[in-house]
Structure 1
Amino acid sequence: MRPMRFMRELPKVELHAHLNGSVSFQTIEKLIRRKPQLNIEHSMTAIGKGQRRTLDECFQVFKVIHQLVDSEEDIFMVATDVIKEFAADGVKYLELRSTPREETTTGLTKRRYIETVIKAIQQCKRERVDIDVRFLVAIDRRNGSQVAMETVQLAEEFLLSSDGLVIGIDLSGDPTVGHGRDLLSALQKAKDSGLKLSLHLSEVPSQHDETDLLLNIPPDRIGHGTFLHPEMGGSQGLVDKVVQNNIPLELCLTSNVKGQTVQCYAEHHFKYWYQMGHPVVICTDDKGVFATDLSQEYKMAATTFGLSHEAVWKLSQQAIDYIFAPDSVKEQLKQKWRDLQPQEFK
């Protein structure tokens, strides 16, 4: 079977997808038509093939997208489109993440923001879209400790009232702003209440102290972890903590290369962790902004690091163990993978 066809047909798990960063070209088109007064062009919302941006420039792209997505109607359309696009790419289980925002001009509140994402998930379920979707409420580190605590309180409410759809907390935002120590109490509160934690860690160099501090919680998964290991300027001590706690890493190849935190695909830290046999999950991060999808990310990993189709299948199947949903959901997914498994891998 041709490699790309295999990747498309491969059942997949996506565990690191920011809602606003996942908005496709087609959806952006609809949003731009709705808001012509903003004078926004496509080139301002995505980073095309062969293009690179600094991390700071990547965050500027999000600011533009936020201008386009500022009402309940926008969020509902964006979320349903994103879910259906992941499903069309063979993703069977998806954890979306987003920071709840308020917009005075449209009357959007943080609570309504989360409710609208939940509505979109439920709508796709009603339409029998072949994908199981959960939601992680994101803390934007730029907003400080008080807002972080408010976000956790909201997430705790939805953990109890969303019928298992809200399952965790994401810590993200510009990694060069603020310090993790200010968010420790909010993150600890979240963990104590039963929310799962996925934390962006070591996205940029020289964050040893913060990373060390946050690894002590410890998180349930790590986003990126680019500079954890010694070859990337991290330390053996940090690696040991990750390994001892068996914390899976969510790795986003194209995002890191286009965002210039990794020089090229061949130097991506996927290789370091994969060869060690440590749990890793291939993810997209922001499929819209970085003009990719999960099938392409798997193909990139396979061609760059010489993975056979069978190794790719195994990588995809093992990702089920690292989802935040209950064991009953894991078992259903494993059955789905068994049903779809090519004969030659059995």
Structure 2
Amino acid sequence: VMDHEVGLFCRELPKVELHAHLNGSVSYQTIEKLIRRKPHLNIEHSMTAIGKGQRRTLEECFQVFKVIHQLVDTEEDILMVATDVIREFAEDGVKYLELRSTPREEKNTGLTKKRYVETIIKAIQQCKNEGVDIDVRFLVAIDRRNGPEAAMETVKLAEEFLLSSDGLVVGLDLSGDPKVGHGKDLLPALQRGRNSGLKLSLHLSEVPSQLEESDLLLNLPPDRIGHGTFLHPEMGGSQSLVDKVLKNNIPLELCLTSNVKGQTVPSYSKHHFKYWYQLGHPSVICTDDKGVFCTDLSHEYQLVASTFGLSREALWNLSQQAIDCIFAPETVKQQLKWRWTDLKHHIFTVTKPEANYVSQTVV
């Protein structure tokens, strides 16, 4: 009973998603449509997702993205993928979403980086015009594998859209294979982006032994941290890294299924969510790549609840506190907080647990 109750509550819960890579969020159904469009590629489903109980190394996860990129190489593909992803998040009760993606150019289809971003903005506007109940913003991603010149080019592109996208482009993401390149080479680009008013969400300490890089990047400081798996001393990080995160009050974007399936965390109970949550530090539950890892945000909340014994009230607070971590302006935060307040009574009434079920808070 309890699991069903919590599951129902997590579905009904209004949610904020702040760490979602566009191409990694493509669902089974959308992949199906893409495969039908491109039969000549001979791509099978098993190549684009990591199913229940499966584990992959981080390297293998990046191979999956390569396959998805082959399927998504025209403006038409991007438009379909982005609108599908936005609708699916909305169906899962996500009220505010920040999508991220690296602008790509495809010589053979004539796709340019600028058109890539424009098409995602078009998808966001299209969903809005259709009345899809979700507020969507976009983070332009820097892929660290592409080096400092490409990073600077991406920042300039993001600056352009920061001014012209009517508030839809709000920041930069730094991602890509964490084992390639060094953050210090990307600092000039990130500093420039920061100075021009773009918010920064940086993948940080995603793999072990990146203390020096993490330290450098934390000095910026970023506005949010993606994963931060190996920041704290118990995971081979250091107290001084933790202190910087706490001092600047930098929220963490935490993705449980992604970390366990990608093998950077051994099990759900060992996830660093517990470490930061016990410190009372802002931690936002996210999906990372809902398509590739076969999950959704409701499921991630349910995992946190069952693994760490969080009550419905604690889950509600977790979801509501995420509003303070978004990159959209204060007016948007205020509107979202009013929405949460409006919905609260309804959700706690609709999903009343059995009278004899007393919540056990473990954390």
Post-superposition CA distance 1:139-168 (Å, at most 9, x none): 000000000000000000000000000000
Question: Which AA in structure 1 matches 2:63?
Answer: Q
Question: 1:130 is matched with which residue?
Answer: 133
> Equivalent residue for 1:211?
214
- Distance in structure 2 (CA, Å) of the matches to 1:203 and 1:344: 35
Q: Does 1:144 align with 2:150?
A: no
User: Superposition RMSD on alpha carbons, in Å?
Assistant: 1.0
Secondary structure class of the residue paired with 1:342: helix
Whether 1:318 and 2:321 are equivalent positions in the alignment is yes
The answer on whether the counterparts of 2:24 and 2:291 sit within 8 Å (CA) in structure 1 is yes
Match of 1:13 among 9, 12, 16: 16
For 1:274, the equivalent position in structure 2 comes to: 277
Gaps of 5+ in 2: 350-363
Structure 1 residue 162 and structure 2 residue 162: aligned? no
Q: Which whole-Å CA distance do the structure 2 matches of 1:302 and 1:195 have between them?
A: 34
Q: What is the distance in 2 between the residues matched to 1:84 and 1:72?
A: 18
How far apart are the structure 1 equivalents of 2:213 and 2:273? 22
Q: Deviations over 1:200-227 (max 9, x none)?
A: 0000000000000000000000000000
| Alpha-carbon shift at residue 273 of structure 1 (Å) | 0.0
Where in structure 2 are the equivalents of 1:1-346 lying within 5 Å?
A: 2-342=5-345
Do the aligned partners of residues 35 and 311 (structure 1) sit closer, same or farther apart at CA in structure 2, a change above 3 Å counting?
Answer: same
Shift of 1:342: 2.7
Q: Which residue identity lines up with residue 113 of structure 1 in the other structure?
A: Y
Q: In the TM superposition, what is the alpha-carbon distance from 1:72 to its structure 2 partner?
A: 0.1
* Structure 2 residue identity aligned to 1:224: H
Q: Secondary structure at the match of 2:138?
A: strand
Report the Cα offset of residue 3 of structure 1. Answer: 1.1
Aligned length: 346
In 2, Cα distance between the equivalents of 1:126 and 1:228?
Answer: 42
Measure, in 2, the Cα distance between the counterparts of 1:138 and 1:201: 14
Q: Distance in 2 between matches of 1:110 and 1:243?
A: 36
Give, in angstroms, the shift of residue 330 of structure 1.
Answer: 0.3
Quick one: distance in 2 between partners of 1:229 and 1:19?
A: 29
- Structure 2 CA distance, aligned partners of 1:18 and 1:205? 22
Cα distance between partner residues in 2 of 1:295 and 1:345 = 16
Aligned mates of 1:53, 1:218 — CA distance in 2 = 31
Task: Quickly say closer, same or farther: Cα 1:102–1:302, change in 2 above 3 A.
Answer: same
Q: Whole-Å Cα distance in 2 between the matches of residues 343 and 127 of structure 1?
A: 25
What is the deviation of 1:173? 0.1
SS of 2:137's equivalent?
strand
Question: Which AA in structure 2 matches 1:178?
Answer: G
Measured against aligned partners, the alpha-carbon deviations of 1:84-129 in whole angstroms (never above 9, x if no partner) come to 0000000000000000000011000000000000000000000000
Alpha-carbon separation, structure 1, partners of 2:187 and 2:43: 38
- SS at the partner of 2:96? strand
Please report how far the alpha carbon of residue 345 of structure 1 lies from its aligned counterpart in structure 2 after TM superposition.
6.8
Using the size of structure 1 for normalisation, the TM-score is 0.99
Displacement of 1:344 in angstroms is 9.1
Which amino acid is 1:206 matched to? S
2:354 — aligned with what?
none
